[in-house]
Structure 1
Amino acid sequence: MTADPALLDDLFALEIDGQTAQFVRPADTDRHDFAVYDGHDFLGMLYSDQVLGTAGWRLGGTYERHGALEDAVRALRRPRSWPRERAQVSDWAQRLLQDDTLAAVDVETTGLNKPWAVQIAATDRSGTVLFDSYVNPQAEIEPGAIAVHKIGPERVADAPTFGELLPALTEALHGRTCVAYNLPFDKGCLERELERHSSPQAAARWLGECRWHDAMEPYAVWKGLWSVKRGRYRSQKLGGPHTAVEDCRFLLARVREMASSDRPGEG
């Protein structure tokens, strides 16, 4: 909800993640600012950015801003443990970036349900390409997947198969610390490709030659948008263009963001 603050009532309620938040405009101001409550519990103040000429909401006592009113409330609902958890995420990201074997990995696929690879890329921690290739999946590519990554059958018809790419991929990744966004998905696709090429045991050995990290959950913690319905921090979209190399670089930018001392929404 990116509502025009000027159109909001002085008193209104909004259900966010299954729990109703109540908004009260203080009587001593004619600005579009609100005190926010969960039941009788005061969460904090939200100040409209309208006076700055931009859409969004600033959390009281901070410079943190969110474009959507729901996300601003989720930020107010953070558990008290969030600063400690966020500091742990920042430490993790800093250690990751200090690893000179770090590789960001991205796999574009035929779909969402047990898919095959149509593009695989890896970059080093500076974004330099270590591996980048289209893959002939020897399977149908779902229309929904094509709409996202724009890789159709004609693009991969003459591409090498996973088995043909495996030696180069092995040289690029083995012995490295690998980070992905939503690791179970990308690593699961690689595992299926390896099993199709050889065996489950060989696949496990191959994957075991890398040290794997998932940046998706840490980034959710770092952003700190708490869902009372799920009882956890909301996952965030990577925001990349869904081309494998550029998604690797977007991922590294997220890791660098987590390694910084800035609060989410600042700046």
Structure 2
Amino acid sequence: MGKTIDDPAVMRYDTDGRPVYCRRMAPPGLATAAQLRTERLSVAGLAPAAWLYYTRLGYRTCALYKRAQARPIRPLTTRQRDALAEDRVCAAVWAAEVLADPNTVFLDTETTGLLGGPEPSYAVEIAVVDVSGAPLLDTLLNPRRSIPQEAIAKHQITDSMVADAPTFSEVLPELTRVLEGRRVIIYNSEFDRGILTTELERHYRVHDPFGASSLWSTHPAACQWMATLRTECAMQRYAEWHGDWDEKRQRYRWQRLDGDHRARGDCQAIVPRLRVMASTAFTVAAA
């Protein structure tokens, strides 16, 4: 039997008896890893003491740790600081090269949800813009399934808006033409490449059903299309330039794009971020 809930801030208890607190109702002695980082405290080696319930594209919980058990973050060594500085220089130079490349375009999708969920996620909007921000492709897409409310809350694209929109299959020839020979920059390329692979898999399963080797492997035509797509991740590069090192995960922390959650707007939001990075390419290197 589970514990009796006698605290109005507690929603339930997990299987180990740890409380799951309602949003913004956790006691002051507990904090998330992100909150503790702002206090220069590390949760490395600590097990969660409780959980915090919140909603973001679905119902989720976030780990809470005891503030008294968190340890001060050790200062970086000279060698570590030099390595971070070198990564920042490389990221700044990369941004300058991207902006100077006439073949550069930016791609973004809005979707029915996140990758790895119980149901496949499909695109409801796709955009490709050039370095000046001019759209080369900008269209809603009919995902041929209902858009969950959690996704609508993020990008404001509803079922009625996409009812008469083209399908991905109908847009695919134009998308292929626009991206051919291009250097494609994506903010979180792993996500958008996953969405494109899902859409291509569905397309080729219908249009070339006998070309697939099995039901459990990606259609060869989808793999071939993706193999020709030359993408680079602006989120990874910006994280390197921003330099917020995550000691626990041994990588740089991702930084939000802060776009408008529409495909064209998010593409255009990448450009000024790269310009800021590129503006430091020589000053950072000379420091």
Report the TM-score, using the length of structure 1 for normalisation. Answer: 0.69
Query: Which of the residues 181, 188, 193 maps onto 1:187?
Result: 193
1:91 Cα deviation (Å)? 1.5
Query: Which of the residues 229, 234, 239 maps onto 2:258?
Result: 239
> For 2:103 and 2:229, how far apart are their aligned partners in 1?
10
Count residues in correspondence: 203
Letter in 2 for 1:155: M
1:173 Cα deviation (Å)? 1.1
Query: Which of the residues 248, 255, 262 maps onto 2:274?
Result: 255
> For 1:18 and 1:80, how far apart are their aligned partners in 2?
25
RMSD, aligned CA: 2.7
Distance 1:138 1:93, change over 3 A: same
Unaligned 5+ residue runs, structure 2? 1-37, 45-70, 206-218
Percentage identity across paired residues of the two chains? 41
Structure 1 contact 17–227 (Cα < 8 Å) conserved: no
1:256 Cα deviation (Å)? 1.8
Letter in 1 for 2:92: S
Distance 1:257 1:15, change over 3 A: closer
Describe the superposition over 1:108-152 as per-residue Cα deviations: whole angstroms up to 9, x where unpaired. 000013410000000011111000000000122121111110001
Letter in 2 for 1:203: A
1:154 Cα deviation (Å)? 0.8
Describe the superposition over 1:14-69 as per-residue Cα deviations: whole angstroms up to 9, x where unpaired. 463426xxxxxxxxxxxxxxxxx947x667xxxxxxxxxxxxxxxxxxxxxxxxxx
Structure 2 contact 40–72 (Cα < 8 Å) conserved: no
Distance 1:42 1:162, change over 3 A: closer
Unaligned 5+ residue runs, structure 1? 1-12, 20-36, 44-77
Structure 1 contact 18–228 (Cα < 8 Å) conserved: no
Task: Within 5 Å, give how 1:80-119 maps onto structure 2.
Answer: 80-112=82-114, 113=117, 114-119=120-125
- Aligned position for 1:30: none
Letter in 1 for 2:43: G
For residue 106 of structure 1, give the secondary structure of its aligned residue in structure 2.
strand
> For 1:38 and 1:80, how far apart are their aligned partners in 2?
22
Letter in 2 for 1:236: Q
